[in-house]
Structure 1
Amino acid sequence: MSISRVITWDVTASRGYETAWVELDGDRLRAHGRAVGTTPEPYWISYTLDTAAGFVTRRLRVTAETASGTRTLDLRHDGEGRWTADGERPADVDGALDCDLGLCPLTNTMPVLRHGLHLAPGEREFLMAWVSVPDLTVHASPQTYTHLGRTELGGRIRFVSGDFRSDVEFDADGYVVDYPALARRLATP
């Protein structure tokens, strides 16, 4: 059974907004979204995201528009741990299961759902294919997610990557509600 949602976040880190149209079908996620930001420079982002079984990223297509022009990225995962970015192999991301689009709270959903970290104790270390915004370069990003406890809406998870750390609130469906220093979901009518 497929479940569709539309989610909008106030993305404080970019001084902008993002809206994602998301469809969950069992253990697969499909989404497309748009974001506008003013930091580090004014930009528009459009993306589509598809996962395979187990919420493993299959493909992320991104277009970024800035004053200096338009960039695109076609990031693909072959299902066996290898990645290509516009047909080229990015450095050090082999073995990663997930993409992480910079300043995009939606891409935290896949590892959280795969391991149920928003609902049950646990700690997981991940390697992510992290996409910088708005330049769309791909980098390896080691990240740790630690379940801190249940909340009225779902659960709280500590996110750590390098020197960055934030205690993120997720709803029961695995979507970000409040990501201090990054984004906060807007109420839906």
Structure 2
Amino acid sequence: MYFHAVEEGYRIDGHTAAVENGQPWVVQYTILVDARWATRRASVTGHWFTGTRKIDIEADGHGRWHIDGAYASALDGCLDVDLESSSMTNALPARRLALRIGDQASAPAAYVRALDLSVDRLEQRYVRVTDEDGGQRYDYSAPAFDFGCRLVYDTAGLPLHYPGIAIRAF
């Protein structure tokens, strides 16, 4: 993953690879967020043994989304993109919300699946818990998957630990 400031906010370039249900995949992505950390654009390319697919996602920063140019009303109100294939994208709402310890917020996201790049709305909740070792910690939940865990970020707000999914190696 490569992260840097650009004129309109920040740009994140990355890729991930895995085997899911016996199917290997690679997902490459570029995400642009504005100065408030709301997603403005994402370009996502998936590579599978069956082929390659690319999608382009655009958001107005106020909750209206387009996927490959088509308006996606199901995503109305979302300010974040969440790639199933990347722990980095959970850092976007954590950073944008800037919750104080004990605060909580809902952060629905445009959720992009790794195996086919389909996009759905994903309801998510973040609860800021006590910091530890200088890093921020959040209790995260996604009820649609009956999933919850504690996410840990470094002092810059980048992911250190996403239980069962990712651990920063350096």
Q: Same fold, TM exceeding 0.5?
A: yes
Q: Given the alignment of the two structures, is residue 100 of structure 1 paired with residue 100 of structure 2, yes or no?
A: no
AA partner of residue 174 (structure 1): G
1:90·1:139 contact (CA, 8 Å) conserved in 2? no
1:74·1:85 contact (CA, 8 Å) conserved in 2? yes
Which residue of the partner structure matches residue 112 of structure 1?
94
Ranked by relative contact order (alpha carbons within 8 Å, sequence separation 6 or more), the top structure is 1
1:168·1:180 contact (CA, 8 Å) conserved in 2? yes
Q: How does 1:1-16 map to 2 (within 5 A)?
A: none
2:65·2:73 contact (CA, 8 Å) conserved in 1? no
2-structure distance, mates of 1:26, 1:110: 18
Partner SS, residue 112 of structure 1 = helix
Match of 1:123 among 104, 108, 124: 104
TM-score (norm 2): 0.91
Partner SS, residue 156 of structure 2 = coil
Shift of 1:91: 4.7
- CA offsets, 1:115-141, max 9 Å, x none? 223x64310111100111121000000
2-structure distance, mates of 1:169, 1:109: 9
1:148·1:156 contact (CA, 8 Å) conserved in 2? yes
Give % identity: 30
Which residue of the partner structure matches residue 9 of structure 2?
28
- CA offsets, 1:54-89, max 9 Å, x none? 011000101101011101110110233210111122
1-structure distance, mates of 2:102, 2:147: 22
Shift of 1:27: 8.9
Match of 1:38 among 19, 24, 41: 19
Which residue of the partner structure matches residue 156 of structure 2?
173
Moved more, 156-165 or 27-36: 27-36
Q: Given the alignment of the two structures, is residue 85 of structure 1 paired with residue 72 of structure 2, yes or no?
A: no
Q: Given the alignment of the two structures, is residue 75 of structure 1 paired with residue 54 of structure 2, yes or no?
A: no
Which residue of the partner structure matches residue 148 of structure 1?
129
In structure 2, the CA distance between the partners of 1:139 and 1:132, relative to structure 1 (3 Å rule), is same
Shift of 1:36: 1.4
1:170·1:176 contact (CA, 8 Å) conserved in 2? yes
* Structure 1: 5+ residue stretches without partners: 1-19
1:57·1:98 contact (CA, 8 Å) conserved in 2? yes
2:46·2:117 contact (CA, 8 Å) conserved in 1? yes
1:91·1:140 contact (CA, 8 Å) conserved in 2? no
- Matched pairs, number: 167
Partner SS, residue 90 of structure 2 = helix
TM-score (norm 1): 0.82
* Structure 2: 5+ residue stretches without partners: none
1:100·1:108 contact (CA, 8 Å) conserved in 2? yes
Q: Given the alignment of the two structures, is residue 164 of structure 1 paired with residue 147 of structure 2, yes or no?
A: yes
2-structure distance, mates of 1:35, 1:138: 18
